[in-house]
C-alpha cells in the first residue's frame, strides 16, 4: 500500500511539472508563431500588429517635451525587424501617453489598446509607477496582462529606463523594487521580459549614463537603442 501511494504521488507530481517553477518565457520559443508570420511572403503573409503601451518614453518624449517619434524605441524596433524580415507587413502602434501610470493605462486598455488586435503587447510604465507604489502598480500590470492573455496576445514586460535623479547602483533606489516586481510578474504569467534596466545599470557602472540621456528622465537616441535591442531579441533570430 505504501508503494502504491508513492507511485500515485509521483504520478501526480509529474502531471504538473511547472507547479512552483514559474519562470520567464523562453526567448527562442515564446514568439515562434509571430516570427513565423514575419517570415511569410506575400500572398501568404498578413499584417503583424505590435503595440507599445506605456508612458512618455515609448511615446518618444525627449528634452523640453519634444517628441522624437522616429527616434523612439518602438520605431527603432521596427527598423531592426525590417532588416531581418524584408517581406513582413508590420504595424507598430504606440498607445503610450506622457505622464501616465499603469493604473490609467489599465483603465483604457480594452477601448484604446486591445482594439488594435495586437500580436504582441509591450508594457512600459515602471518609471512613473514608482510614484504610485508597488501594490497598485502590481494590480494594474496584472490586470493588463490577464486581459491580454485572455485574447491570446503575447505580452512582453519592459523594465524601466533611467532617471538621472536616481542612483541605479544603489540597492535601495526606488526603481529596483519595481524592476523586481516586473520580473516576478513575467515569471508568474510565463511571458516575455525585456530588461533595459539591467543594461543601463552596466552603463552606470562605467560612469557613462549621461551619454544615453536627452533629459533628466528621457533617453536620447543611444538610450532608446538600448531599449530597442532588448526588445528586438525577442522578435528576431540570431544569425
Whether the predicted pLDDT of 1 surpasses 50: no
Query: Is the peptide bond prior to 147 cis by the omega test (within 30 degrees of 0)?
Result: no
Mean pLDDT of the chain: 92
Report the pLDDT value the prediction gives residue 22, as an integer from 0 to 100.
86
Give the pLDDT confidence of 180-213 residue by residue, as tens digits.
999 999 999 999 999 999 999 999 999 999 999 9
**Total-model pTM:** 0.91
Distances (CA, A) of 213 to 2, 4, 52, 122, 161: 65, 64, 20, 22, 10
Distance CA(157)–CA(192), nearest Å, equals 6
Mean pLDDT, residues 145-167: 98
Give the pLDDT confidence of 28-66 residue by residue, as tens digits.
999 999 999 999 999 999 999 999 999 999 999 998 889
Nearest-10 crossing angle of helices 134-150, 175-189: 30
Q: Which residue reads 505590435 in cell numbers?
A: 50
Q: pLDDT-based confidence at 9, cuts 50/70/90?
A: very low
Domains of the chain, first to last: 30-235 (3.40.50.1110)
Strand, helix or coil for residue 118: coil
Distances (CA, A) of 121 to 71, 145, 212: 20, 9, 25
Amino acid at each position: 500500500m505504501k508503494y502504491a501511494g508513492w507511485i500515485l504521488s509521483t504520478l501526480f507530481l509529474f502531471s504538473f511539472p511547472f507547479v512552483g517553477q514559474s519562470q520567464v518565457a523562453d526567448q527562442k520559443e515564446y514568439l515562434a508563431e509571430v516570427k513565423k508570420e514575419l517570415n511569410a511572403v506575400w500572398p501568404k503573409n498578413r499584417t503583424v500588429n505590435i503595440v507599445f503601451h506605456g508612458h512618455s518614453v515609448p511615446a518618444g518624449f525627449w528634452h523640453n517635451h519634444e517628441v522624437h517619434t522616429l527616434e523612439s524605441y518602438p520605431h527603432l524596433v521596427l527598423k531592426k525587424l525590417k532588416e531581418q524580415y524584408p517581406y513582413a507587413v508590420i504595424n507598430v502602434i504606440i498607445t503610450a501617453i506622457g505622464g501616465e501610470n499603469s493604473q490609467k493605462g489599465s483603465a483604457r486598455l480594452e477601448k484604446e489598446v486591445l482594439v488594435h488586435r495586437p500580436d504582441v503587447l509591450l508594457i512600459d510604465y515602471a518609471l512613473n509607477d514608482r510614484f504610485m507604489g508597488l501594490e497598485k502598480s502590481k494590480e494594474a500590470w496584472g490586470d493588463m496582462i490577464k486581459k491580454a492573455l485572455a485574447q491570446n496576445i503575447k505580452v512582453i514586460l519592459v523594465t524601466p529606463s533611467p532617471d538621472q535623479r536616481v542612483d541605479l547602483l544603489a540597492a535601495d533606489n526606488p526603481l529596483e523594487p519595481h524592476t523586481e516586481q516586473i520580473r516576478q510578474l513575467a515569471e508568474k504569467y510565463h511571458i516575455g521580459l525585456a530588461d533595459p534596466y539591467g543594461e543601463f545599470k552596466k552603463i552606470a557602472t562605467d560612469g557613462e549614463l549621461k551619454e544615453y540621456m536627452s533629459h533628466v528622465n528621457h533617453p536620447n537616441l543611444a538610450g532608446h537603442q538600448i531599449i530597442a535591442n532588448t526588445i528586438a531579441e525577442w522578435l528576431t533570430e540570431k544569425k
